[in-house]
Amino acid sequence: MDRAALADFLRRRREALQPGDVGLAAGVRRRAPGLRREEVAALATMSTDYYTRLEQQRGPQPSPQLLASLARALRLTGDERDYLFRVAGHNPPASVSAATHVSPALLRVLDRLADTPALILSNLGETLVQNRMAEALFGDRSGHTGLARSEIYRWFTDPAERSRYPEADRDRQSRAQVANLRAAYGSMGPQSRAGELVRALQKASPEFAELWERHEVAQRFADHKTLIHPELGPIELDCQVLFTEDQSQALLVLTAPPRSEGYEKLQLLAVLGTERFPAST
């Protein structure tokens, strides 16, 4: 671990960012350039004290998980992320885990979408980042582990995953999930994480196995869907998708036309947030 190089790199990357670059309000006049240490710590979900010690060449060696959080908070490119890992005394992430490093370009767009649900997904349907509105609409998707990180896997193995969609639309969603996975499988190959996901789902779900044999391939760029919220009921939304150049990640943005019922429900969702009301007796 090169403490001096790590400290200098973190400080310079922090000072190169402005609040608007990471979706924060500028606030009062700042004496120092760039982000404050506490802002970087909050973005990386770590304590300010621990981050401060890293910049001061003190403290224990950060874990790979913590470094990945710092890379995302500081909007690092792939090369910068690998450098961060090396000076911290770790090997850069292998291609399997590096795929979850969020594209800085997509993060910059997401940072500016505070009033509508938006989230960044991997090509395997793993939620990498979601904004507050997306969490209010879909729930917190950050706690899943293993194959269940993929919404495709959950769709075919966890009945609760389908509760956000009207029953009449679930067959179409099943076909779309499989077609998306087929596209990822074609680009990543049978020995990839996509292949692992396919083999697991073929064993776990007869429905998936039947749909997989159809060889339907598609990546959705736009969609109109109805989602069912526990408190607000059905919400009609338009879904737009922005892909990275290599198609490995996508930013999903859900909107509704102004003055429509869906738009009004999104306004209510912004107020409701993740709060749930107890059922009346």
- What pLDDT digit, counting tens, does each position of 46-86 carry? 999 999 999 999 888 999 889 988 998 898 887 788 889 99
Phi, psi of 91 (to 5 degrees): -70, 145
Q: Which residues of 247-257 are buried (b: 16+ CB within 10 A; e: fewer)?
A: ebbbbbbbbbe
Q: For residues 207 and 148, what is the distance between their CA atoms, to the nearest angstrom?
A: 17
- What pLDDT digit, counting tens, does each position of 98-119 carry? 456 788 888 889 988 888 999 9
Phi, psi of 163 (to 5 degrees): -65, -20
**Mean pLDDT in residue range 130-158:** 91
Which helix (DSSP H) or strand (DSSP E) does residue 120 occupy?
strand 118-122
Q: How is residue 150 annotated by DSSP?
A: B
**Mean pLDDT in residue range 174-187:** 89
Residue 222 has pLDDT above 70, yes or no: no
Beta-strand relationship, 249-255 and 222-229: unpaired
